[in-house]
Amino acid sequence: MDSDKPVPDRTAAKWNKDNDGPLILFQMTISKSHRVNASELVYVLSKLEFLERLEHVKLVFVVPKKLVGKFKRQPIVLVKAVGTDSVRKIRGIGRATSALLSQFGIRTINDLETEVNLRGNIKKQKTTNKTKEPTLKDADPERWDQIVELWEQHELTVKYGEKVAAIA
């Protein structure tokens, strides 16, 4: 099968906030327990534009026949990262990104929030040459945009995490 070919419409479901009816998400596992990460669910549901319609979302576990009747309700792991925690607690920020942020004095979630808010405001203002220190946004704008996207996803996870946990 050619992996570069687009998938035909008949084999790909088109789904977004305008669809009626439930959205059924399937999780396959061969384990008796399978923890679910709330941030991953929030990420998928945000891409499908379904965060405002969680009452229409169902999470179904597909298990082998031998686990039917033994499989129990699975816990949803909520985001417990707080402002003083390392930026590495944010989904998608690994060792390399954390090290890069650290070079610019951004080590905690609070530091990142402050920087995102500050740089967001600067974008709306006229640029001047009076900037004292170089910023990550100036040094690597593409990487900065990726980090801001991860931050925005983290904010969604904090906002919707408990509501998403109720669907499992």
What is the per-residue pLDDT for 125?
40
CA angle 117, 45, 64 (to 5 degrees): 140
C-alpha closest to that of 36 among 76, 5, 2:
76
User: Which residues span the domain enclosing 26?
Assistant: 12-79
Same-domain pairing of 93 and 142: yes
Cα torsion 61, 64, 67, 71 to 10°: value is -10
Domain annotation covers residue 149:
yes
Task: Say if 144 falls within a structural domain.
Answer: yes
pLDDT of residue 123: 43
Residue 127's pLDDT is 47
Are 61 and 97 in the same domain?
Answer: no
Domains identified in the chain, total number: 2
Residue 48 in tokens:
């499908």
Structure tokens at 80: 């417990």
**Pair 113, 71 in one domain:** no
- Residues in contact with 140: Cβ distance below 8 Å, sequence separation at least 6, in sequence order: 100
Spatial distance between the Cα atoms of 100 and 120, rounded to a whole number of angstroms: 19
47 in a domain, yes or no? yes
Amino acid (one-letter) located at 160: Y
**pLDDT digits (tens), the chain, 168 positions:** 567 777 676 666 666 666 667 888 888 888 887 788 888 889 888 988 888 888 888 888 888 999 888 888 777 888 777 789 999 999 899 999 999 999 999 999 999 999 998 887 544 444 455 555 778 888 888 999 999 999 998 999 888 888 888 886
For helices 141-165 and 38-47, give the axis angle rounded to 10 degrees.
110
Indicate whether 75 and 99 sit together in one domain: no
- Does residue 149 share a domain with residue 106? yes
d(CA 140, CA 85): 24
Q: Is residue 167 part of a domain?
A: no
pLDDT score recorded for residue 69: 87
